[in-house]
Amino acid sequence: MRIEDYALIGDMQSAALVGRDGSIDWLCLPRFDSPSCFASLLGTERNGHWWLGPTGRKPATRRQYRSDTLILESEWDTPTGTVRVIDFMPPRDRNPDVVRIVEGVSGSVEVSTQLRVRFDYGRIVPWVRRNNGHLQAIGGPDSVWLHSPVPLKGGDYAHRATFTVNEGDRLPFVFTWHPSHEEMPPQIDSEVQLRETEAMWAEWVARCTYDGPYREAVVRSLITLKGLTYAPTGGIVAAPTTSLPEDLGGVRNWDYRFCWLRDATMTLDALISSGYLDEAADWRAWLLRAIAGRPQDLQIMYGVRGERRLPELRLDWLDGYEDSRPVRIGNEAVKQLQLDVYGEVMNCLYVSRTRGLGPDDRAWAIQRQLLDYVAEHWDEPDEGLWEVRGPRRHFVHSKVMCWAALDRAVKYVEEFGRTGPVESWRRLRDTIHAEICDKGYDAERNTFTQSYGSSELDAALLVMPMVGFLPADDPRLVGTVSAIEKELMSDGFVLRYPLAADNDVDGLPGGEGAFLACSFWLVEVMAMQGRKQEAEDLFERLLTLRNDVGLLAEEYDPRYGRLVGNFPQAFSHVPLIHAARALS
């Protein structure tokens, strides 16, 4: 299936992708970054999946989330009747559960299911046994149970069942994970959990303060971001998947199941602006734990509990999504120097304070250490926002965010009475500003450039007016935006930077789609420049790229008319929220 044929369910600790045909093709337990038990998304059904739907396995006639929740409802109309499958993961008490309820809507429908559990990313075939009428699968440290009134029969290393569902029937299937050395966990009541899960989401969404013209899109994006939050620690993953390709059939396949400081700060900014201050407090606590230590040891990403080691490995037994290899777990970019992260962290903590988050002396002490590091290293080349695997450069966006880090430090002193070498921070802020305008600006073309001495453009330059580096109507920024529109747009959407044989900026072969965040940034900047109609037109086009349940991947590839990249992607839904607010 296409990437956009999937929907997300989750419990704020892990998540599953459910296909339009009723198959769960991706699920990692017990955490987002744990090895998967269903991995057919990146291989074949032999790597694990759980299909449930009318016999014949056709796409659902329609599907939707139940109101403002992560409860998915898929319906099939058949010649003999209509059946509905309700999929959700209840917020867990102890063990993670996936609940699937088959409901007869009308008539009588023959339904089938096939369960093929494969632990360790599709590699381990578990030992399966029956225990008091329930199925248990064990493989190494993992064990799962399937509880259902429908008996499944084994064969060919899978378990199957075919049964009839009449109008009014409700048949539950409950899939529960636990460590294999522990006893069977208590069985949950699927109907009770359904009611409680719906009530939880209703209460959470009721706190949303956004009331503009794009409320449906904003609320769905907020729910998606909440679904990517790791509740025990407050960490936020960039996406629940790994190795969904940026270039179909290519090598641009990365693991996004970790907490990027940049992505998390932008996510928190969106949540805070929509009334969710508790999440900001939780994330600040996670941040302080994760980065505790020397500022020079700051990483651009961490595990969901703050883990620092995220070694990158290749899973050669998986064929990859549409033959996009290699399949990777872990992320080598964890070792990169990305100076913009310091500005993102400082800006997020500053915005949190302006929105009402209370002061924290420990947080300010750590921020001062981060500022000392910025003062010593801002003039070094780095890998930049896009995590290029080519040579380090003096990326203009990185320098702008170093400026932003110092600017927010000055504002902390001026607005919140914090102490620090504010005059030194002001001087350095002004020095960085002047250097960017000198070395990062091409006066002949009237545009800022990707890096010092480069003639290339970069969509990250659109962030400059958003962080207050220059007013949006400054002639230099007007020229930059105009150049980006002329040179970095494909089918009306914004590419990150030029990809050509003579441009080795990212050190990788192949192309990629239009990075959706960049197009949303353009919407916001257009709105800031007073080009409201153009901004609204582009925003409406971007909304049409969402799938039928409102989700976005990392990129849209105009060559194929498809979503590409990891899915759903926080870095796409966050700027959607900001763009909607700018238009409102």
pLDDT at position 502: 52
pLDDT at position 11: 98
Contact present, 246 and 555 (Cβ < 8 Å) = yes
What is the sign of the dihedral through the CA atoms of 512, 518, 520 and 525?
negative
CA gap 391, 182 in Å, rounded: 49
CA gap 130, 226 in Å, rounded: 36
List, in sequence order, every residue forming a beta bridge with 24; answer none if it has no partner: 18, 50
pLDDT at position 504: 61
3-state secondary structure of 525: helix
3-state secondary structure of 99: strand
CA gap 513, 569 in Å, rounded: 14
pLDDT at position 76: 98
Query: Which residues, in sequence order, are CB contacts of 423 under 8 Å at separation 6+?
Result: none
pLDDT at position 285: 85
Is residue 294 packed enough to be buried (19+ CB in 10 Å), middle (13-18) or exposed (0-12)?
exposed
CA gap 144, 128 in Å, rounded: 9
pLDDT at position 291: 78
pTM for the model stands at 0.95
pLDDT at position 265: 83
Q: Which residue has the tokens 């699920």?
A: 27
pLDDT at position 189: 96
CA gap 370, 350 in Å, rounded: 14
Is residue 469 packed enough to be buried (19+ CB in 10 Å), middle (13-18) or exposed (0-12)?
buried
CA angle 511, 458, 534 (to 5 degrees): 100
Q: Which H/E stretch holds residue 62? A: strand 62-65
Q: Which H/E stretch holds residue 354? A: helix 340-354
Contact present, 281 and 349 (Cβ < 8 Å) = no
CA gap 409, 255 in Å, rounded: 33
Phi and psi angles of residue 39, each rounded to the nearest 5 degrees, phi first: -135, 20
Give how far Cα 181 sits from Cα of 140, 185, 562, Å.
9, 11, 43
- Alpha-helix residue ranges (DSSP H) falling in 48-187: 119-122
- CA 518 vs. chain centroid, Å, equals 15
Q: Which residues, given as ranges, of the chain have pLDDT below 50?
A: none
What's the per-residue H, E or C state across 111-122?
EEEEEECCHHHH
Q: What is the per-residue pLDDT across 170-207, written as a single tens digit (0 to 9) for each?
A: 999 999 999 999 999 999 999 999 999 999 999 999 99
pLDDT at position 93: 85
Q: Which H/E stretch holds residue 407? A: helix 396-416
Contact present, 8 and 63 (Cβ < 8 Å) = no
CA gap 478, 338 in Å, rounded: 27
